[in-house]
Homo-oligomer: A and B are copies of this chain.
Amino acid sequence: MTCAWSLECSSCASTRSADGLPGVCDCGQPLLVRYPAPPSPEAKSVLRERPWTMWRYREWLPLGAEESPVTLGEGGTPLLPVARIAAKHGFRDLRVKEEGTNPTGSFKARGLAAAVTRAVAAGARRLVVPTAGNAGVALAAYGARAGVATRVYASAITPATILSQIRSFGADLVLVDGHIGDCGRAARAYAAEAGAVDVSTLREPYRIEGKKTLGLEIAEQLGWTLPDAIVYPTGGGTGLIGMWKAFEELAAAGWVLGPLPRMYSVQSTGCAPVVQAFAAGAERCTPWPEPRTVASGLCVPGPLGDRLMLRALRESGGGAVAVSDAQLSGASRDLQTLEGIDACPEGGATLAGLLELEARGAIRRDDQVVLFNTGAGWLYRS
């Protein structure tokens, strides 16, 4: 199949065909998918005939008209009002995008479904990923679904349940004495040596497209309007970058009107390179020395997507905030016991971050705000 879309470098703006197995640009920076034309507003009406998975938005995604994706039914997750927590803190309209009900228990299902679909379509038989946890579970499952071999590099301190899930799908799991940056180096070495396709965050262009469906779904769930603010836990940043790409594409296509949401990134005080760079007015992050947090998904000391994240935060008029492990754990507990949501530490971080942002005056109590529970809490228990 010849791809109808093309690829554009997010940094040097050079373009290339999407055929084959694209990685990063020759300049080393991430490639973004560009489509020949946006879906027409009339295409909205076909949506209601389709099941609630992320592939209902197939015209927005890198999928040929005759192609079937590698899918476990990912997407279509609830956008839950949290009235009890809103009342506790005086907010008017607070919702949680509950990504823990995805296959494999997290938002990573979206990106990996898209990446595995394209890699397998281009002939890949062996895939590899470094992981802070959830991406490894997702790759293992989608690799099994596609019938291809997978290898996962994870830090030895990754929660035991996550490691057990990765193994359960038959992936070849390698534990690394280090953080995700170290896992990434090991994954790239293995890819070069074994001819495996590296589906790391932003080292191929399709995980962003899968994550874009977070933004498309929120828009549809709010009746093709967008919230005032989105508070998102940020590690590698694909979700933040993907949602911002979705909002820009929706606006360009005329599917939504009015201002786009202010995007806020929440990190841990134990690993906050984006918060630091945002505050310093920098375009890139300085790698965080000795990253440490219970929210393993936030333990990404030097994200490849730093420029794209910082651009989205600034263009949207948003910001970035760090919270302590105590704050994010307490907020997770509130989501669990006051709302019945199986919040992960990163999900708790968005609630803790919201309270910080409100205290600073960045978010108002009468804003319509969407928080994210990016994965299920059970993945972190044992």
- Residues in B with CB closer than 8 Å to A145 are 339-341
Partner of A147, one of B84, B141, B146: B84
- C-alpha gap A348/B278 in the complex (Å): 49
* Contact across chains for A144 and B340 when beta carbons are under 8 A apart: yes
CB within 8 Å of B: which A94-109 residues? 98, 100-105
* Contact across chains for A161 and B73 when beta carbons are under 8 A apart: no
Interface flags for A229-244 (1: CB within 8 Å of B; 0: not) read 0000000000000000
- C-alpha gap A14/B185 in the complex (Å): 71
- Residues in B with CB closer than 8 Å to A80 are 71-73
* Contact across chains for A169 and B336 when beta carbons are under 8 A apart: yes
* Contact across chains for B73 and A141 when beta carbons are under 8 A apart: no
* Contact across chains for A381 and B165 when beta carbons are under 8 A apart: yes
Interface flags for A365-378 (1: CB within 8 Å of B; 0: not) read 00000000000111
| Stretch of A44-52, A255-263, A319-327 on the interface side | A44-52
- Distance (Å) between the CB of A176 and the closest chain B CB? 22
- Residues in B with CB closer than 8 Å to A48 are 48-49
* Contact across chains for B340 and A161 when beta carbons are under 8 A apart: no
Partner of A101, one of B102, B143, B165: B102
A142 is an interface residue with CB less than 8 A from chain B: yes
- Residues in B with CB closer than 8 Å to A102 are 101
- C-alpha gap A71/B79 in the complex (Å): 11
* Contact across chains for A342 and B52 when beta carbons are under 8 A apart: no
* Contact across chains for A143 and B342 when beta carbons are under 8 A apart: no
A221 is an interface residue with CB less than 8 A from chain B: yes
- Residues in B with CB closer than 8 Å to A103 are 78, 98, 100-101, 340-342
- C-alpha gap A340/B53 in the complex (Å): 17
A382 is an interface residue with CB less than 8 A from chain B: yes
Contact surface of A with B, Cβ cutoff 8 Å: 48-49, 51-53, 71-73, 76-78, 80, 84, 98, 100-105, 140-147, 160-161, 164-165, 168-170, 221, 336-342, 376-379, 381-382
A-B contact pairs, 25 of them (CB 8 A): A48-B49, A51-B221, A72-B340, A84-B147, A98-B103, A101-B101, A101-B103, A103-B340, A103-B341, A140-B340, A143-B340, A144-B336, A144-B337, A145-B339, A145-B340, A145-B341, A160-B382, A164-B381, A165-B342, A165-B381, A168-B336, A168-B377, A170-B336, A378-B379, A382-B382
